């Protein structure tokens, strides 16, 4: 049960998580996340433009500012998406 660095899949906050858990809740935005996914994002694995757009749509009715941040991060990865 080592504690490892991770990044919230919703708000992008830097976190420390127990890697033996399947899921956790961000201490900043209070959104649940999959621990393995948060660790991968921290390590630069798995943060794709598609996953960021998906997060943006999930957040749009909860927090438009966070949704916009997610969409902007997706555009940094892929500035010319084929929609």
For residue 79, what pLDDT band results from cuts at 50, 70 and 90? confident
* 74 pLDDT more than 70: yes
Q: What is the pLDDT of residues 19-61, one digit of tens each?
A: 999 999 999 999 899 898 888 888 777 656 777 777 777 777 7
Domain boundaries, the chain: 3-42, 48-83
List of residues 6+ apart from 19 with CB closer than 8 A: 1, 2, 3, 4, 35, 36, 39
Length of the chain: 83
The DSSP 8-state label assigned to residue 64 in this structure reads H
Q: What is the pLDDT of residue 25?
A: 93
Q: What is the pLDDT of residue 24?
A: 92
At which residue do the structure tokens 């490892």 appear? 4
Ordered alpha helix ranges (H), 1-83: 35-42, 49-59, 64-77
Please state whether the predicted TM-score (pTM) of the whole model is above 0.75: no
């Amino acid at each position: 049960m080592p504690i490892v660095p991770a990044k919230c899949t919703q708000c992008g906050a830097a976190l420390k998580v127990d890697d033996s858990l399947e899921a956790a809740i961000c201490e900043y935005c209070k959104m649940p996340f999959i621990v393995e996914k948060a660790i991968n994002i921290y390590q630069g694995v798995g943060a794709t433009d598609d996953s960021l757009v998906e997060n943006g749509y999930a957040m749009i009715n909860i927090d438009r500012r966070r949704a916009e941040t997610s969409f902007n991060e997706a555009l940094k990865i892929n500035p010319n998406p084929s929609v």
